[in-house]
Structures are given as structure tokens and as C-alpha cells.
Structure 1
């Protein structure tokens, strides 16, 4: 396939002044239909099992009572393949839910009819570099980008979203994000709940003005903290209620928020039974009192409602966790922004940054489950799920010298190893041999790198390309009390593509870089941090 890199990729969005849904009034021409020009061409020797056309455009959807909300919406149609592989999620701002099988060859035709450049990234999929949605391939309004790739991933809950340099947060917030579900034979053999009993739940936060339009604040405090909305939406709906029957369900939880971290638990104290993470099913179910979910992460739950009476209700909540380390300045509890000037635990910085009526780390409801009917079903939870080959540190190409990536925020900058994002700026330590296993550690102040006027904040680190395994977590002594409010909900088993690195913590992972050469990004999945430059490229060669 011949692929053209956008010649304007070094610039900010061509139409940045126009803004996004809720920020401005759209001119009438944003809805204008037109012929799309392809910037790349399909491969003659690529024979797709599935071919889908996706179009990004503006739309008005009913989210709240009253006036409709202007959003950016992806809609799709199946050109080749079963029509059931695509659900447009009509009536919501969510992009289509796509369903594929491992081994299928997929061609995606992406049309841009938005008043801005954009491109879509297949979050968690192992695809070639020029199919991954790197910002360098962003297309203008009236242009088409063609993706071609084979589904190499195991069964799991994956995610796709806009990945446009400098404005990913705005575009995802406006609606450019959706689910991509993969199935395979191993999963099918387990006879897990399916059909209506297999329920994806995309959790997001949004703010609205008095006319029901999306409000997105880009002030510096919001950028440094990450945007926090005032309302929780599930599958694009507020006050979400899921009616269930008296049987077992598979709930696929997705944190689709820009920056909000959730500490999810059932309100009656029922343990959370986790069966899957970012990269698919675990080897065996795990029970936790709560589950932490950072932006971009996915967690799959097994929930059995067979013992509950019709009419019973259960609420999924996000519980309190210690906010001292989410927005504190100078990085130490006794420092200027800790217990000092303001005389309370959140400190001055915490107060300044609590710009949402739902502050980060507070307690609030996410959704309600209501048992609506009796129904018989197979409620047996398999003791074993899918086998996972454990990666070995001794097999890493750099086993004796881990690649360290220091995470820092200071002077209104978000940095990786002291560097901000630039295209075509790969440094020697960012060059990795193809078909190698790499030991990588993310240091968020564990080794004393956070000092002076730096900010202690959690960072969900996402690596494009093949999934990784978490080797270990190390926590600095000065944050152990705070860390204890989240540690039981960190699920480190299985295959991951996004890992939450808390302040004062160092997380070590093993990451394969197999099959594909080229540029693959790594970045914070707090999308405001990403847009501020907390993103870099690995060059695989």
C-alpha cells in the first residue's frame, strides 16, 4: 500500500480556530457533503474478509432532556462482510462498535468530513506502523485514509479514538471514540455470557452548558490536571440504568474519559470478579474489593445476578481515593502545597484544581443495575480462562539495563525523560531492534526525580503496538499511605497496553516489539497531558 504522510503534520490543526463541539458555533459548511480524495491507495494483494467505510462528521444527538447536543460523530457501513459486525450506536455520540475475529483481514476506509484534520488510532491492536493512526497521517476535511491490517490480537475489548496532534483530548471529548471487540476460538470454547448478556459499558465524564452543549475548558489548570466533567455518562447516556435478568453477565468496562481515574466498586460490598484486562481474558478469574481504571484501560467483569430478587438494585460507584498525590505541588505531603499553606490535606493546589463538581478521587455513582426479570442460564464461572505465556526478564535484549522513562510535569510542561513531543525527533535511546523484547521502567518520582516545583500526578502510560506484561511495582516510602487507597484495585495480570503509574512509583514492564518496523508512540493517556507533549515515538528498525 502506498501511504502519504500529511504535508502539514508539523502544524497545529488547520482549522484549530473553529474548535470543537460545545466550544463554538459551527458554520453551515461543516455539514457539506462532498467527494473524498484518497491520500493512500488500497493494496492489490490485500484481500479483505471485512471492508468497512467510516465517516467522521458533525451530528446533533439527544443526550439530555431538551435541546440536542452538537457532537463529532463517526458513522459506518459494511461494504464486505456480515452486517452484524458494525453497530452505529445510533442516538448517541459513540463511534460504531466493531466486532472482528482473530485472523480476519480488515480494510477500513476513513472519510473526514469534519472542520479539522483527524486520524483514528486502533488502541491495543498489533498493526503495522502506518496503520496505527500516528498523528503524522492525519487527513484534512474531504480526504480519505485507507487502513489494511490483519487482526492478530487475541479475543478482548479494544478501543479506537482520534489521535490528532495537539487536539486529541478535544476530539475524543467531542465523540471520536468507539469500541472494537475481538473474538477467537479459545474464548468461544469457554461459553461465557454472550448476546444480550455480554454488555460493553463505556464510562465517560462530560460538562454541558444551559443549552445542552458540550463545554470543554482548555485553561491551564484543566490542562495540567486533565479535564474533569461534571456528569458521568455510560454508553453516551446520563443516569444510566442497566436492566438485567437473574443470571450471569459479562460486563466490559471501558474508561473512555479524558483524564478521570475511577475506583470502581459495588455499593453493597460484593467483590469484583475480574476476568479480563486490556489485552483480553486472564488465565483465571481474580476477585478484588474494587478495580482501578485509568483512561484507556479496559476491565471485564463476571457478575452473577441469579441470587438477587426481581426489583433488586445494585449501584456501581467510584469510591474515594487519596487526592494528595493527584495535583499536589512540590511532591511531598509536608511541602508548600501539601499540609502547609491551606491547612488541610488537599492543600492549595488541590483546591485550585478541583474545577469539577465531581473532583478526582471523590465518591459518586457511575450506573445502576436493576434486576428486571427471572431467567435461567449457565451461571458457572470457569475456573480457568485462557493460557498466557509469561514473558521472562532474562529474555529481554536489555535485561541488565532497563530502558528508563522518567515522567514529569513542571513549568506548564508534561515531559518524558525531560522531552516534549516533536515529530521526526527520535533520540538514540528511542531506537529499538525489531523482534526484540525490551525491559522498560516508568519512573514517576520513585527515584527522587520529582522536586522543586514539579507536580505529583498519576500517569496512565500507553504504548502503541504489541501488548506488554507488568513485571513489578516499586513504591517510594513517602507515598505508601496514599498508595494504599488504590493498590488493591491495580490489576497487573495478563496482557496490558496501558498502565497506571502513581506518584512516587516505578513500574517495570516487558514489552515485545515484534513483526513491524516504523514509528510507534508511547504517551500518557491523560489526553490533556498527551496534547501538552507527554508523548514520544519509538523507532523500531
Structure 2
């Protein structure tokens, strides 16, 4: 009788436990379903487009007797009215948010007088610029609060859409997200002769795209649950303008697209799926225009596109979901998200534009046949080639004047990208195949989907400096900040790397 009562009690316990497990499974499953179904973001059809897009002013400059063009940039804190009547604490260059567009020509000597008016150290990196390592503005060139830094160099690269932003070690994501960024345009004689839209702010428009969240009147830079990519915002701004539109008066309009977000990848196209012409990538113009309907830009990448408008029409620059990526990554790292980014409004009467040239410029990129050696880089969130960033360690030493082929492999668990300072590289192959049209121009940053293998050719034209390194890193800035970065020095043949850990900034 006692055994029977014991078995009965045991069965009741099992039934209760099974019921609890079942309830927990339902709760957990329901919670995950709720997270999954609510993880994607879309502003398609929801943007009012009721604020005229700001165009960053061209930075004022002076020219010294020796021909040096001098700019002034001041990093400062302030307040910006993104929403009517609400002021948000922000950072900017020469203003409360973002910075002016610097512009110089190939062959010019330039100097930028940088002043840090913030209450913490930062730096200014000239992304995509070929210049001496000590002038690069990476983590070794920190500018202390109240200090000044005067980098100078000679512009020696083709016409291109570059940009500048902070690069403080471990703090880059926060400094960029607060508003420290701007464009740096390079002109040259060859591009000046081409029939391309080139009136800045009229038919040649800077389009700096960022994703943002607002926590009341403040910008929210927090990371979301289940996301390991870094910060992802729920709406976008262009040139610091929410819900932006731009009136245009020309048949052909050139958009200089810059993904200035810290983690988000955009797939740009238009709401009516019209074709546009890609004329330039990170480091300058292509050899010939390439027609396409979509172009993907990961953080730090740029693209110059030309779109044809018809009188009186409106079209929306839109970011669509990724074409690649696993289900988990697409759902929780932004791959399923869609954004209406910018509305273009054509005037009732448009100025005619000359037809795009069929040929643009001859390539100055290095060729694989000239490579003297190869290197391999395994990209994982835990580090590059198994190592986290160490300011005192030189990871690679390259010889000035040589060409190399670097093999990049994403062996991690998510999409990354790869940026190299100082050089513009040629993409040789993607997973063993020739690169698509969007990757055939000069590049300094390239997206790396999970499992992808990319080969690039790089030429190191110097100057040699064994004591001051350049960086290579993932430009998803949270990943960079957490150590997904390495450094290399350029040396003369037979020279060894110096001691790079003692740079304390300015």
C-alpha cells in the first residue's frame, strides 16, 4: 500500500515537472517568436520627407606663399535641433554636428590645423588619404583636450570622395556616433575635363548616411539585445537631417554616398528600381560607368552614382535588405531592415545635362603580377589572425615601393569588413571569382560576408617610417574598438620596424 502511494506521488511530481517544463517551453518559445518577428526595422512608406536636406558647407581655407592650402577644424560639443523644438547634445567640427567639406586638388600641399575643444582626447583620421603615417590621425595621433595638431602633406592621388573621422583607440564608435565626421573631396585635372555633374550642392550632392535612435532629446548609442554587430539605429539621417528631401534642377544628379554609420550595412537603390550609373568607388573614378540598380555599402565605404531625373517627378533613395547573410544574422544584425533615406524632387523644368562619358579615367591600381609577396588575414571578432590590437606591437612590416597580394578570409560567425589605411587597393577576386562591377574601382574598405575569401592587391608607395604605423581593421566600429585591428609599418628595403608604442599624442 505504501509503495502504491509512493508511486502515485512520484507520478504526480513528474506530471507537475512536465507541466512546468511545458509552460517554460511555451514562454521561451513565445518570447523568441516575439523577438524574431519584431527584430526587423522598416521606415519604408513612413518617412514624411518634410525637412530640406542640409548640404555641409565647403570649408574655408587660406593659401600661404609657398602654395600650402590651410584649413581649420575644431572638435567641439554643442546642441543640434534634429526635431523641431528639441535640442540634442552632439559633437561636431566647426559646429554642433558633422563638419564642413574639405576640398583640395591633386598636387596641392595642405595643412589642417586641428583643435580639440572637447573634454576628452580624440583624433582626426583622413580615411582613404595617401599620406605619411605620422599625419594619418590614427590612434597614435591622439589630440588631448585643449591641444592642437597640425598635420600637413601633399595630395598625391586621383580625384575621389574621402572622409574624415575620429580614431581614438577603444572609443571610435562613440566619437563618430556623436557627430564627428565630414567629407574630404579631392579634385584633379582629369576629372575636371569629364562631363560629370560637378556643381557642389546643386547637381553634385554629398550624402552622408547615418542611422540613429533618440532617447528623448538625446541620441541613443546603446547596443540592442541579441545583436553583436554594434549599434543599429531605427531611422536614418542624411547630412544630419531627419526626414530629408532635396530639390534638384538638373537632368543628371551625382550623389556622393558615404556610409558613415558605425555598424549598419546599406543596400542603396531607388523605390522605383530605376537604373543608375556607378562612376566612382572609395578611392576615385572607375574606368567606365557601370549601370546597376543596387549597390551595397558597409561602414566607411563610398560610392559616386549618377541618377537621371525627369521634370516634376519624385523618387526615393532606399536601402533594401541584404542579398547575402544567414537567417540569424540578417534578422538580428540589420540584414532584414529597410529604410527610405532621401527623397529627390525634380523641378518642373530641368536644366539639360551632357551625356555621361563612356570612358572615365585610366586605372592607377596595382596589378597582381607585380606582387613580391602575399599575406593572409583571418577575420574574427576575437581578433585578426588570432590577435587583438596591441598599440605596442607591429603586426606586419612592408617594404616601400612594393606590391603585395593580401588574402582576406572571414572565418568568424558574422559579416565583417576590412579597411586599410594609406592605400587604395584592387580587388582581384571574391571567393575565387572576378569582382562585380561595384568592386572594380579603387577601394580602401570592403565588406566580408561570413565565410568569404577576398584577394586584394596593394602598393605601398611610402614614405617609409619604421616608427609610425598605419592601421588595418574591421570598420564595424564596435569590433574595431574591441580589438579587431592590427598595424603595419612601411620601411626601406632591409630596414626593420621600430618601437611604435611610445606615442602619447598632442
Instruction: State whether TM-score is above 0.5.
Output: yes
- In structure 1, distance between residues paired with 2:153 and 2:299: 25
> What are the equivalent positions in structure 2 for 1:365-404 lying under 5 Å apart?
365-389=340-364, 391-398=366-373, 402-404=374-376
Q: Which residue of 1 aligns with 2:23?
A: none
> Is the Cα–Cα contact under 8 Å of residues 58 and 70 in structure 1 kept in the other structure?
yes
Aligned-pair distance for 1:219?
A: 6.9
- In structure 2, distance between residues paired with 1:62 and 1:253: 23
Please give the secondary structure, in 1, of the residue aligned with 2:304: strand
- Identify which of 355, 369, 378 aligns with 1:406: 378
Aligned-pair distance for 1:51?
A: 1.0
> Is the Cα–Cα contact under 8 Å of residues 290 and 489 in structure 1 kept in the other structure?
no
- Identify which of 41, 58, 74 aligns with 2:93: 74
Please give the secondary structure, in 2, of the residue aligned with 1:507: strand
Q: Which residue of 2 aligns with 1:151?
A: 155
Aligned in 2, Cα 1:112/1:151: closer, same or farther, shift over 3 Å? same
2:444 is aligned with 1:440: no
Q: Which residue of 1 aligns with 2:462?
A: 515
- In structure 2, distance between residues paired with 1:233 and 1:160: 18
- In structure 2, distance between residues paired with 1:180 and 1:362: 29
Q: Which residue of 1 aligns with 2:385?
A: 417
Aligned-pair distance for 1:221?
A: 5.3
Q: Which residue of 2 aligns with 1:461?
A: 418
Q: Which residue of 2 aligns with 1:168?
A: 172
Q: Which residue of 2 aligns with 1:64?
A: 83
- In structure 2, distance between residues paired with 1:375 and 1:56: 39
2:294 is aligned with 1:290: yes
- Identify which of 214, 219, 226 aligns with 1:208: 214
Unaligned runs of 5+ in 1: 1-44, 76-89, 326-344, 477-486
Aligned-pair distance for 1:390?
A: 5.1
Q: When the two structures are aligned, how many residues end up with a matched partner?
A: 423
> Is the Cα–Cα contact under 8 Å of residues 163 and 181 in structure 2 kept in the other structure?
yes
Aligned in 2, Cα 1:373/1:93: closer, same or farther, shift over 3 Å? farther
- In structure 1, distance between residues paired with 2:130 and 2:360: 22
Please provide the CA RMSD for this pair: 2.1
Please give the secondary structure, in 1, of the residue aligned with 2:362: coil
Q: Deviations over 1:444-484 (max 9, x none)?
A: 13xxxx5xxxx2x22121000121110001079xxxxxxxx
Aligned-pair distance for 1:64?
A: 1.3
- Identify which of 231, 239, 243 aligns with 2:235: 231
- In structure 2, distance between residues paired with 1:59 and 1:419: 38
Please give the secondary structure, in 2, of the residue aligned with 1:525: coil
Aligned in 2, Cα 1:66/1:172: closer, same or farther, shift over 3 Å? same
Q: Which residue of 2 aligns with 1:299?
A: 303
> What are the equivalent positions in structure 2 for 1:521-540 lying under 5 Å apart?
521-540=471-490
Please give the secondary structure, in 1, of the residue aligned with 2:277: strand
Q: Which residue of 2 aligns with 1:117?
A: 121
Q: Which residue of 2 aligns with 1:128?
A: 132
- In structure 1, distance between residues paired with 2:129 and 2:65: 18
Aligned-pair distance for 1:62?
A: 1.1
Please give the secondary structure, in 2, of the residue aligned with 1:321: coil
- In structure 1, distance between residues paired with 2:231 and 2:317: 22
Aligned-pair distance for 1:496?
A: 0.7
Aligned in 2, Cα 1:46/1:468: closer, same or farther, shift over 3 Å? farther
- In structure 1, distance between residues paired with 2:181 and 2:234: 20
Aligned-pair distance for 1:517?
A: 2.0
Q: Which residue of 2 aligns with 1:217?
A: 222
Please give the secondary structure, in 2, of the residue aligned with 1:422: coil
- In structure 1, distance between residues paired with 2:85 and 2:173: 26
> Is the Cα–Cα contact under 8 Å of residues 284 and 386 in structure 1 kept in the other structure?
yes
> Is the Cα–Cα contact under 8 Å of residues 102 and 154 in structure 1 kept in the other structure?
yes
Q: Structure 2 length as normaliser, TM-score?
A: 0.80
Q: Deviations over 1:391-434 (max 9, x none)?
A: 32221011xxx21100013xxx3x1000000112114xx11111
> Is the Cα–Cα contact under 8 Å of residues 323 and 361 in structure 1 kept in the other structure?
no
Q: Which residue of 2 aligns with 1:321?
A: 322
> Is the Cα–Cα contact under 8 Å of residues 97 and 178 in structure 1 kept in the other structure?
yes
> Is the Cα–Cα contact under 8 Å of residues 75 and 116 in structure 2 kept in the other structure?
yes
Please give the secondary structure, in 2, of the residue aligned with 1:130: helix
Q: Deviations over 1:101-154 (max 9, x none)?
A: 111111111111101111100000000010001211202111111101111121
> Is the Cα–Cα contact under 8 Å of residues 48 and 107 in structure 1 kept in the other structure?
no
Aligned-pair distance for 1:350?
A: 6.5
Q: Which residue of 2 aligns with 1:80?
A: none
> Is the Cα–Cα contact under 8 Å of residues 473 and 486 in structure 2 kept in the other structure?
yes
Aligned-pair distance for 1:316?
A: 1.2
Q: Structure 1 length as normaliser, TM-score?
A: 0.75
- Identify which of 161, 182, 189 aligns with 2:186: 182
Aligned-pair distance for 1:218?
A: 5.0
Please give the secondary structure, in 1, of the residue aligned with 2:191: helix
Unaligned runs of 5+ in 2: 1-63, 492-506
Aligned in 2, Cα 1:322/1:288: closer, same or farther, shift over 3 Å? closer
